[in-house]
Structure 1
């Protein structure tokens, strides 16, 4: 599967999961990130209580991270930084403008599924900071 096919598959899967499993419409608005956050909270709960689903979430955490990470990345890209593109980097699929300007929503989603918000892995906070990074407004440490 090439990058565009992966993106299309993940976007379609996120929308389908949102509607069919959670009765939430993922419409590429910034507000839809709140729904994704709720879905990820549910995945985290399943992860720490994996006996309830026979460990399926632990087997598929990376898949869900890609599905919802790419959805979040597309919301960022479409609404805040059209000059960013998906690139296959040493860190996996990453939204990149150049080597110095990259964000990795897939990794952050994975961390929220595994660690939960209580460990500081909150997708809504990541989203807000990613907007600042993508717009060049995040303070640099020089």
Structure 2
């Protein structure tokens, strides 16, 4: 992991923890910052995150690499921040390609800071998808989840 990527992830992680309960507007402002960082991280991997459905495969590639790094180092330092960056990028891809949704910071049935995304009658957890992919591995492939829960669902309506 490059120093630049690590710096992004640390800043993001601490910005969530330090701001407490955010207003909707503050969440939207954070979202824009995270998406910008996701694109920058993609560039570090020579990948173009262009907000297409296909770009989720690039996100999966990056998360897979981060999982390998986690297994190798046994350190989660900065990885939660990266999960937030890519979770918010996934939300943006959904909204650009499949319609707007609503994001909140917390969900009443779960721990704080899970950032549920309410879209098309479903409650999705893209940040948690990314966390699970980084820490748990291939079984939590975000490209597969995206295909099943977003693309295939939208196509079946």
TM-score by length of 2: 0.73
**1:117-132 equivalence runs, <5 A:** 117=138, 120-131=139-150
- Taking structure 1 as reference, are residues 133 and 6 closer, same or farther at Cα in structure 2, changes over 3 Å only? farther
Give 1:26's aligned residue.
49
Counterpart CA distance in 1 for 2:59 and 2:118 is: 22
Q: Deviations over 1:3-31 (max 9, x none)?
A: 01210111000001111x10111010011
Match of 1:96 among 118, 127, 132: 118
User: Structure 2: which 5+ runs fail to align?
Assistant: 1-18, 20-25
Alignment partners' CA distance in 2, 1:110 and 1:14? 15
As a proportion of its length, which structure holds more strand?
A: 1
Q: Calculate the aligned-residue CA RMSD, in Å.
A: 2.1
- Taking structure 1 as the reference length, the TM-score comes to 0.80
Contiguous gaps of at least 5 residues in structure 1 = none
Counterpart of 1:43 in structure 2 is: 66
